[in-house]
Amino acid sequence: MKKALDIVILPPENIMELTLKLNAALAQPVLKLNRHNALPHLTLAMAVVEESSEQNILAELKKLNFLSIDLVIDHTFYNQSAHHGLISGLGIQRSEALYQLHLQASAILEKYSLPIDENDASIFLNSEKIDYPKSASWVRDFQAKHSYENFDPHITIGVGDIGKLETISFEATELLLCHLGVFCSCAKVLG
């Protein structure tokens, strides 16, 4: 069985609270962030892989010896979606340390990456709730359009304008592998 997976950094409690508060204030039904099956996160790499590769990916992540990373929210991230409209998020400064972690995560998933079957929504958790063509295209295009020199680190908040943000520095200590769900959210932590 194939799965859409995401290597992510989970924010600490204060940033988790901020993202949930900002998401709840948006008048949009598309993405409802929570602590159970739509975790706020910063994506480092994503791909579709065979479920049997999951343990190998987790082993390679463990070899990175990740302890923590200092991050800075320094702008509001915006992405104009033809399907959903304005998508907002917490824009994260692309430090050299974060960029190197992105490269390492990308190299791990590239080894196991498979083509996306345009008719198989089952790669996502809770696939019956997925706007499959939009989510599949985001995963399919992540390496080519959103990685390497195009890596624009952010934590997606949802559809709508969250306004201007103050600069916030924080330390993140969780590097995880997630199964993707609705709106390419972190639906289930795999390790």
Sign of CA dihedral 34, 17, 158, 160: positive
**How confident is the model at residue 135, as a pLDDT?**
67
pLDDT above 90: residue 121? no
**How confident is the model at residue 67, as a pLDDT?**
96
pLDDT above 80: residue 160? yes
pLDDT above 60: residue 171? yes
Query: Please, what is the average pLDDT of the chain?
Result: 89
Question: Tell me: the pLDDT tens digits for 11-64?
Answer: 999 999 999 999 999 987 678 899 999 999 999 999 999 999 999 999 999 999
**Which residues is 75 bridged to in the sheet?**
91
Domain ranges for the chain: 2-189
Higher pLDDT among residues 126 and 33, named by residue: 33
The residues near 79 (Cβ < 8 Å, ≥ 6 apart) are: 86, 87, 89
**How confident is the model at residue 124, as a pLDDT?**
82
CB 43 within 8 A of CB 175: no
Going by CATH, does the domain composed of 2-189 fall within 3.90.1140.10?
A: yes
Neighbouring C-beta atoms of residue 32, cutoff 10 Å: 16
Indicate the pTM of the whole model: 0.92
Q: Minimal CA–CA distance to 40: which of 156, 182, 169?
A: 156
**How confident is the model at residue 9, as a pLDDT?**
98
Neighbouring C-beta atoms of residue 144, cutoff 10 Å: 9
State what percent of residues in the chain have pLDDT above 90. 69
Question: Tell me: the pLDDT tens digits for 70-104?
Answer: 999 999 998 777 666 788 999 999 999 999 999 99
pLDDT above 60: residue 133? no
